[in-house]
Structure 1
Amino acid sequence: MADEKTVNSRFKLLRYYSMASAVALTVTASVLVALYRSDQVDEFLYSSEAENTRLATTFANTFWRQFQPFFITASNIAAEPLRRRGELRALDIAFDSLSTGLPILKIRVYDRQGRAVYSSIRDEVGEDFSINPGVGQAVGQGKTWTAMKFKPRMPDLAGRIDDRWVVETYIPVTGELGQPVGGLELYSDASPSMERLTSNVWRLGGLVAAILAGLYLTLFLIVRRADRIIQIQHEEVESAREALRTKEERFRAIADYTFDWESWLDQDGKLRWVNPAVERLAGYSIEQCLAMEDYPLPMIYEADRAEIRRLRQSALTGNFESGIEFRLVCRNGLVKWVMASFQPIFDDCGAIMGTRWSIHDITDRKRAEQRLRESEVRFRSVTQTAADAIISVNGRGDIVSWNVGAERIFGYAEAEALGANVTMILPEAYRQRHEEGLRRAVTTGDAPILGVPSLFEGLRRDGQVFPVELTLSRWEMDNGAFFTAILRDVTERKLAEQELAERTAELERSNAELQQFAYVASHDLQEPLRTVTSFLQLLRRRYDGALDDNAREYIHFAADGAARMHRLITDLLVYSRVSTHGRTFEKVRMEAVLDLVLTNLGAAIEEAGAEIARDPLPEVDADQIQMVSLLQNLVGNAIKYRAPGTVPRVHVGAVRDGDTWTFSVRDNGIGIDPKYFERVFVIFQRLHARGEYEGTGIGLAVAKKIVERHGGRMWLDSEPGQGSTFYFSLPVCQPRKG
């Protein structure tokens, strides 16, 4: 191990030495090349600027002396006229002559104000260049200014455009007394010289790079030779490290993202590692756990701590403890149920170096178990106290649940029934049909009687067959389909229904007989009553002059009684005919019915001065004659039962509510005490003496019977002295029947 470290150390030193040498050589060569280039450039700049200054001076002396009068007068000429002056052509010829064979690109001549009085580019003549720093130096301060610049797309005198290195020089032009009178700018092309300089620098750099490459190659071969010596050992070490790193990454990925709370504790119970699940499960951060004394006991429900301490010590002795359930107190005070396992951790030598704690949240499971227990208690409480039989069977029809109600109804104890086939409580006639239906329900899940109460017969232990009402439901478990039946002994109900049916039939027969009797009686009483009335009228006409006052009063009482008897018999006949002599229902316009009623009651309306208001009335399925009788009765009562000196005001309306029309007849009459609401619809019941209001007490009874025949109902709303509103409802549509 020591030799390997020594070899590795030497190898690292050799490698670092070779690399440092290469870097040093590279830096040194780069610095030398840079210094060489800088020196050459400086020398080139100096010579180029000096040469350009010489040329500019020559051009200034030649141009200014030759064309001085023009330059002086040109200062006062505008740009456009100046560009048209003939002297500029002479200047161009002189410039071409002087610049032939020279790297001249452009020339400008400036006056005292920095304005170009001549330029080799004609469009620049007359332009102001006073803001140019070179012009300012030459014209304003009388100093020479020169610089080298890189100018992209710079044209030469022949119009050829190219990227160029340019030396531009500005020199002052002085008068005879040495005063500045103008300036001259000269552009020279330094690109060829700069390209030669750059080429020389690159050749030097290439030479230095070749030398450096040779040195570095030598060092590289030395390093490579040394690297080959330890390559196999190095690869083995790296492979082992990579495998270890992969294992650790996989472990951390699993541990950090598992839903379980994982912890590692050393032999002293000190926490060494815990995953992030602790924060989700208990609300404590990893930092808080690492700083916690006697971790994790402060987070455990106090009553469970002693057992956890014991299990922790057991794990440190080499025992694996699992499936341990206890309560956890979260940071927010919430108590959760968890399941834990405690596993010893061994080192390479097999010695225990700590324990691994794995904790899983089972709160939801505990709650579900609690709800299941409560549900079972409720279920047993319901089934065992229910009067009905509640029986559950499996897919084969074997009984798996049998309550007290089933014992009472069928006579079998729970121990006898459990495991037996349910056909034991079915009469022989039902068994084959039951087995076929059970097979279909198990196979397809379909059964006509599922969820639908149905009647059939059951069989008691003593062989008695009796009627039962059955409600059946289907439910699934892992081991197949099950069915639960709720059975009710309806023997008493059937007897009661039979008795009720018999009584109903008897009442219907009796009612029919009574109606027939009333019809016959009222019809047969008409003839004797007419005879009595006729003889009373004959007696009055023939002997009226011969009778004293008492006799005439007796005849009057007899005639009046006969008239009341006639009205009573007529009304009774109408009442008896409502159900027996009704017409077939047809479409009836209630507007037309009301018109006919108001015509029939015209004399009473006129006599009372009644005001009749109406809303639009609908068309209904009804017996038209009975509708006339109904409305005439209600409107007539509204006019009749009024307070003395009061003008009757009657309103007839109708509103629709779903499939029903509700009609109303409202008046401003004397009203009715609510305690008499039911009484007014009873036949022969009167709330007033005959002397107050005439009538037989049958009208409202007839009206109610008409409404009931039409499938509706009748009621009223009233207060004494506040008027009354009678309501009756009729279906919007109904079957055609009499």
Structure 2
Amino acid sequence: MTGKTINILLIENDRVDCLALERFVQKNGLPYQLETAGTLEKGISRLKETAFDVVLLDYLLADGVGLEILSVAGNTPVIVITGNGNEHVAVEAMRRGAYDYLIKDHDRNYLALLPTSINNVLLRRHNELRIEESEKRYRTIVETVSDIIFQLDPDQKITFINSAIRELGYDPENAIGKSVDEFLCPEDKDKVKLIATRRVGARCTRNLEVRLRYKSGATEWHEMKKIAVLLDSYGMWSVPDAVVQTHGAQKVFVGTLCIARNITKRKQAEDALRESELRMRAILDNVADAIVTVNQNGAVESFNIAGERIFDYTASEVVGGTFTRLLHDSSRKVYQEKTSDFLEAGKHGFDAKKCELTGLRRDGSAFPLDLSLTRMEFDKKRLFIGIIRDIAERKAAEEKLRKFAEELRRSN
């Protein structure tokens, strides 16, 4: 098959047949290294002592039936050679694991078929070894990943599960044959109907968040991804979407392949972030000053309750619009200069500028305000945070004090 020498063990007690094969090999220059065993006992002994590429086995031997070799040949391919009229023996040999069979004829024409048969069985064995190696490699990967990988049949029972299930306190062997809902939190058991389904494409639910139950009774969140597995006359299909060419073959749903990844820490982080955002929102919504965030394009991204009260606009009316709409014409240029200074400075981290501007309420009335403008860079995104205080009352008080001081000065 590859030009290298092929080591062949010929188990044959007919010396004439042995010589005929040797002459055929020599005449055709075949790369065969032949060793002959004349009895079943010797053949078994040589197989235990030496590794051969192929065994050529005569069915009828002086000390027994040649098919006994099949139980000790292991992974060595065996080609059974039978006499004419013994086709039923060939069928039995193939059933027991022989790779091929040849039927002897009086003129020994079967020898012409031998090289093709040997090449075919060696190619088959080569492919089997590649498949075994591939399966071993993928089995190693499947058994070492931390994700739980399992397969369900159409009845939602587990047909395969990897060693990661031990993290939940279960043995993989004991999980086989059990319903998947035995490992789910009771509140999530209805979701198994979405997992073990034959649906594909847009109708298919591929990602679910479920709580898997430890043997101890504790539960943890897992993200479960699934792929429907269909079988047709062309073989197994793993179906990530509806685009599957089956050439008219009828598909049969045979199960679901699932991968479950522990996302408890992620869920905890999400909960903590959500709580933090709620706390921050509560703080922002209860401070007296308006707090507004503006992106570098001048669009408002957030607007708190105090801002709604001061400007008499709702947040939904302000967010997405320009911040300058909240300023009097006389103040817009000042604000734009302040933000331009920030952008041109190109500084990182925090920076701040304070100024007095004139704001505009919904009704068009103007009022004085203090703006404390801070620039931040967050996730490579530049933002301006403005803290706005209505200083109309303060300005009015200052004006009263000024007038009072002026009156005192004049009276003296």
CA distance in 1, matches of 2:319, 2:285: 15
Shift of 1:396: 0.9
- 340, 356, 360: which one aligns with 2:261: 360
Determine whether 1:300 maps to 2:187: no
Query: CA contact under 8 A between 2:355 and 2:371: conserved in structure 1?
Result: yes
- 454, 467, 474: which one aligns with 2:354: 454
Query: CA contact under 8 A between 2:212 and 2:219: conserved in structure 1?
Result: yes
Kindly provide the amino acid, as one letter, of the partner of residue 151 in structure 2.
W
- 357, 360, 382: which one aligns with 2:283: 382
- 360, 364, 376: which one aligns with 1:474: 376
Give the equivalent residue in structure 2 for 1:273: 160
- 243, 258, 263: which one aligns with 2:130: 243
Give the equivalent residue in structure 2 for 1:286: 172
Per-residue CA deviations over 1:250-273 (Å, capped at 9, x if unaligned) read 432432233421112345554332
Task: Map 1:562-641 onto structure 2 (within 5 A).
Answer: none
Change in Cα spacing, 1:429 to 1:460, as seen in structure 2 (3 Å) is closer
Change in Cα spacing, 1:411 to 1:501, as seen in structure 2 (3 Å) is same
SS in 1 for 2:288: coil
Change in Cα spacing, 1:474 to 1:283, as seen in structure 2 (3 Å) is farther
Shift of 1:17: 1.3
Query: CA contact under 8 A between 1:467 and 1:489: conserved in structure 2?
Result: yes
Give the equivalent residue in structure 2 for 1:330: 214
CA distance in 1, matches of 2:151, 2:360: 67
Give the helix-richer structure, 1 or 2.
Answer: 1
SS in 1 for 2:10: helix
Query: CA contact under 8 A between 2:154 and 2:196: conserved in structure 1?
Result: no
CA distance in 2, matches of 1:439, 1:346: 61
Shift of 1:12: 5.0
Query: CA contact under 8 A between 1:469 and 1:489: conserved in structure 2?
Result: no
Change in Cα spacing, 1:496 to 1:352, as seen in structure 2 (3 Å) is same
**What is the TM-score when the length of structure 1 is the normalising length?**
0.34
Kindly provide the amino acid, as one letter, of the partner of residue 314 in structure 1.
T
Change in Cα spacing, 1:285 to 1:432, as seen in structure 2 (3 Å) is farther
SS in 2 for 1:392: strand
Determine whether 1:17 maps to 2:16: no
Determine whether 1:311 maps to 2:194: yes
CA distance in 1, matches of 2:145, 2:199: 25
Per-residue CA deviations over 1:581-632 (Å, capped at 9, x if unaligned) read xxxxxxxxxxxxxxxxxxxxxxxxxxxxxxxxxxxxxxxxxxxxxxxxxxxx
Kindly provide the amino acid, as one letter, of the partner of residue 401 in structure 1.
S
Query: CA contact under 8 A between 1:440 and 1:446: conserved in structure 2?
Result: no
Corresponding pairs, count: 291
Per-residue CA deviations over 1:117-174 (Å, capped at 9, x if unaligned) read xxxxxxxxxxxxxxxxxxxxxxxxxxxxxxxxxxxxxxxxxxxxxxxxxxxxxxxxxx
Task: Map 1:498-513 onto structure 2 (within 5 A).
Answer: none
Change in Cα spacing, 1:306 to 1:402, as seen in structure 2 (3 Å) is closer
Change in Cα spacing, 1:232 to 1:401, as seen in structure 2 (3 Å) is same
Per-residue CA deviations over 1:633-658 (Å, capped at 9, x if unaligned) read xxxxxxxxxxxxxxxxxxxxxxxxxx
Task: Map 1:113-262 onto structure 2 (within 5 A).
Answer: 228=115, 230-262=117-149
Change in Cα spacing, 1:244 to 1:384, as seen in structure 2 (3 Å) is same
Higher relative contact order (CA 8 A, sep 6+): 2
Per-residue CA deviations over 1:47-67 (Å, capped at 9, x if unaligned) read xxxxxxxxxxxxxxxxxxxxx
Kindly provide the amino acid, as one letter, of the partner of residue 262 in structure 1.
I
CA distance in 2, matches of 1:447, 1:492: 36
CA distance in 2, matches of 1:395, 1:493: 31
SS in 2 for 1:345: strand
Shift of 1:427: 4.5
CA distance in 2, matches of 1:273, 1:447: 54
SS in 2 for 1:419: coil
Kindly provide the amino acid, as one letter, of the partner of residue 171 in structure 2.
S
Kindly provide the amino acid, as one letter, of the partner of residue 464 in structure 1.
A
Give the equivalent residue in structure 2 for 1:202: none
Shift of 1:340: 2.0
Give the equivalent residue in structure 2 for 1:419: 320
- 300, 305, 309: which one aligns with 1:399: 300
Shift of 1:302: 0.8
Determine whether 1:464 maps to 2:347: no
Per-residue CA deviations over 1:531-587 (Å, capped at 9, x if unaligned) read xxxxxxxxxxxxxxxxxxxxxxxxxxxxxxxxxxxxxxxxxxxxxxxxxxxxxxxxx
CA distance in 1, matches of 2:218, 2:401: 63
Change in Cα spacing, 1:429 to 1:364, as seen in structure 2 (3 Å) is same
SS in 1 for 2:310: helix
Change in Cα spacing, 1:464 to 1:254, as seen in structure 2 (3 Å) is same
SS in 2 for 1:466: strand
Change in Cα spacing, 1:492 to 1:314, as seen in structure 2 (3 Å) is same
CA distance in 1, matches of 2:153, 2:299: 58
Give the equivalent residue in structure 1 for 2:95: none
CA distance in 2, matches of 1:463, 1:485: 21
What is the percent sequence identity of the aligned residues? 24
CA distance in 2, matches of 1:316, 1:465: 62
Change in Cα spacing, 1:365 to 1:442, as seen in structure 2 (3 Å) is farther
Change in Cα spacing, 1:283 to 1:475, as seen in structure 2 (3 Å) is farther
Q: Give the gaps of 5 or more residues in structure 1.
A: 1-7, 25-224, 505-738
Give the equivalent residue in structure 1 for 2:28: none
Query: CA contact under 8 A between 1:470 and 1:486: conserved in structure 2?
Result: yes
Give the strand-richer structure, 1 or 2.
Answer: 2
CA distance in 2, matches of 1:244, 1:424: 70
Query: CA contact under 8 A between 1:383 and 1:403: conserved in structure 2?
Result: yes
- Report which of the two structures shows the higher radius of gyration computed on alpha carbons: 1
SS in 2 for 1:396: coil
Kindly provide the amino acid, as one letter, of the partner of residue 242 in structure 1.
L
Query: CA contact under 8 A between 1:457 and 1:467: conserved in structure 2?
Result: yes
Task: Map 1:486-497 onto structure 2 (within 5 A).
Answer: 486-493=387-394
Change in Cα spacing, 1:305 to 1:489, as seen in structure 2 (3 Å) is same
Change in Cα spacing, 1:445 to 1:265, as seen in structure 2 (3 Å) is same
Determine whether 1:343 maps to 2:227: yes
Query: CA contact under 8 A between 1:459 and 1:465: conserved in structure 2?
Result: yes
Change in Cα spacing, 1:321 to 1:406, as seen in structure 2 (3 Å) is closer
Kindly provide the amino acid, as one letter, of the partner of residue 11 in structure 1.
L
Change in Cα spacing, 1:415 to 1:422, as seen in structure 2 (3 Å) is same
Kindly provide the amino acid, as one letter, of the partner of residue 482 in structure 1.
L
Shift of 1:446: 2.7
CA distance in 1, matches of 2:217, 2:180: 15
Shift of 1:300: 0.7
Task: Map 1:500-539 onto structure 2 (within 5 A).
Answer: none
Give the equivalent residue in structure 2 for 1:129: none
Query: CA contact under 8 A between 1:315 and 1:321: conserved in structure 2?
Result: no
Shift of 1:288: 4.2
